[in-house]
Structure 1
């Protein structure tokens, strides 16, 4: 099928590259001419504006937006407004707040799919986990692309009505915070405890058959291998926090207790103060799955 992709950062390029590798025709646009040219070299058809992209897509447009959450999404939709209609489909693959996605779905002439995307740049080869909200017909229309951008047919599903995809992704990120905190606290006790221990060896052993094995634990092993058991100069400063904050806010509104997620979020905020080993590991893990910059100690 033919797909338009708007936004060619790390995540947008993965959507482009995986779609091209599967034989789909991809038209691309980015505010960076260099990014557009690089995607064209990989086999995509370049467009010099959103209007040009829509013209190249023809009828029944299928458009994937992968721009930063917030104003950039609204600006993109505003620019697309004159070029899309009811039988077109627009996918928002960023980390938008679910209420913003519900508002956009109501205001957009085309079918709007909010697509929570998990896996980060590290999933370029394996594919993403995709959590989609919006009209069922629009989801079904995008399945050929979803199958290849995700890990496969089992790597994506329609979560429900508009907003449901980003809602599920929001809670996913809250769970991610808590898991990172749990691993961090465990390794902090091992690091500061009774024995002189090799953190990489522990992570590797746990990753082979232990109940707590996971991809995050594999990233712990990678971090200790590359940084050393004491994490070298990795700083105690964990960036991010918006999706975790949204999760806690929603839990308060729904009166659902989530003490582990709240505690992990509080630790992330407190990391801007004193230094802790657990938060230094969380800092490094964010590089492992999302290629976020690692803050280093001075």
Structure 2
């Protein structure tokens, strides 16, 4: 299969690498010429622009122009054509997604499939699916840079035929066939990812509070040793707990100069807003979100949560004095 990838940051480059490793062809573009060159060095065909990427995809695997004639082409909702372009967007959520779609829109037909693999708000994904000529798949992506080796967890929403068409690519990008599934119609993939992130907030908050008590408690404890012991057979073992162990090993028992400030908050806010609208109580997720907004007074638990964000997503860690 031939896949176009737009957006070659950390996550986009992982998509390119894993798709190439699975034996598929990739056409790649990024606003950064250096990022595009890196994808080309990995084996992708570089494109000079969004328009150029689409034209290269339209030539097909044999260099023959396809019979697609522009956005006026139509298809039945349940079955797309065999000659459509398959394009994966890995650009930042919000305006960059809409800007990229605006560039693609003059070319897209009903035979094409566009995957939004970013962290978009689910209602934006519904709007885009309704407005875009192509079949639109909203793909919640979890796993962070560790996905380069292990693969991602993919939560996909959109037309079933488009999901099935892209299954070989999802198999390559995910941990395997069990690492992805179609959640439902448009918006459902990013909806599930939104709630996933709310759960992530609460888990990080829980580990932070537990280790804060140990840090200030009765005994002079080696917190790396505690985390390592818990990770070997304890009920609360997890990847996040492994990242706690990593944080104490690399930053020290007192977390060094990691600042008591936790960035982020958009997906947690969306989760709490949806919970209020649906009248579903989510006190742990709400409290974790509130802790992020309140991260002004010194708290050990929040410092650990900040370092955990680096562990799973390589997000920048605020440091004291910055």
Deviates more, 1:117-126 or 1:150-159: 117-126
The two structures, once aligned, show a CA RMSD in angstroms of 0.6
Post-superposition CA distance 1:248-290 (Å, at most 9, x none)? 000000000000000000001111x101000000010000000
> In the alignment, is the contact (CA less than 8 A) between 1:203 and 1:220 conserved in 2?
yes
How much does 1:82 deviate?
1.0
Tell me the distance in 2 between the aligned counterparts of 1:248 and 1:233: 31
Name which of 313, 316, 320 aligns with 1:290.
313
Quote the residue 2:203 is aligned against: 179
Question: Following superposition, which runs of at least 4 residues in structure 1 exceed 6 angstroms of deviation?
Answer: none
Tell me the distance in 2 between the aligned counterparts of 1:172 and 1:244: 9
- What are structure 1's unaligned runs of at least 5 residues? none
TM-score (structure 1 length as normaliser):
0.99
Quote the residue 2:43 is aligned against: 43
Tell me the distance in 2 between the aligned counterparts of 1:120 and 1:28: 20
Secondary structure of the residue aligned to 1:154 is: helix
State yes or no: 1:29 paired with 2:53: no
Quote the residue 2:304 is aligned against: 281
Quote the residue 1:239 is aligned against: 263
Name which of 224, 241, 260 aligns with 1:200.
224
Post-superposition CA distance 1:203-247 (Å, at most 9, x none)? 000000000000000000000000111101111000000000000
Quote the residue 1:60 is aligned against: 84
Quote the residue 2:71 is aligned against: none
How much does 1:55 deviate?
1.0
Name which of 151, 172, 194 aligns with 1:170.
194
How much does 1:121 deviate?
1.2
Tell me the distance in 1 between the aligned counterparts of 2:37 and 2:143: 26
How much does 1:198 deviate?
0.4
Quote the residue 1:105 is aligned against: 129
Tell me the distance in 2 between the aligned counterparts of 1:122 and 1:293: 16
How much does 1:34 deviate?
1.2
How much does 1:52 deviate?
1.0
Tell me the distance in 1 between the aligned counterparts of 2:112 and 2:174: 21
How much does 1:39 deviate?
0.6
TM-score (structure 2 length as normaliser):
0.92
Secondary structure of the residue aligned to 2:146 is: helix
State yes or no: 1:87 paired with 2:111: yes
Tell me the distance in 1 between the aligned counterparts of 2:309 and 2:50: 33
* Residues matched between the structures, number: 297
State yes or no: 1:153 paired with 2:177: yes
Quote the residue 1:18 is aligned against: 18
Tell me the distance in 2 between the aligned counterparts of 1:110 and 1:123: 28
Tell me the distance in 2 between the aligned counterparts of 1:113 and 1:123: 20
How much does 1:122 deviate?
2.2
Secondary structure of the residue aligned to 1:3 is: strand
How much does 1:106 deviate?
0.1
Larger Rg: 2
> In the alignment, is the contact (CA less than 8 A) between 1:132 and 1:165 conserved in 2?
yes
Secondary structure of the residue aligned to 1:5 is: strand
Secondary structure of the residue aligned to 2:316 is: coil
Secondary structure of the residue aligned to 1:83 is: coil
Quote the residue 1:212 is aligned against: 236
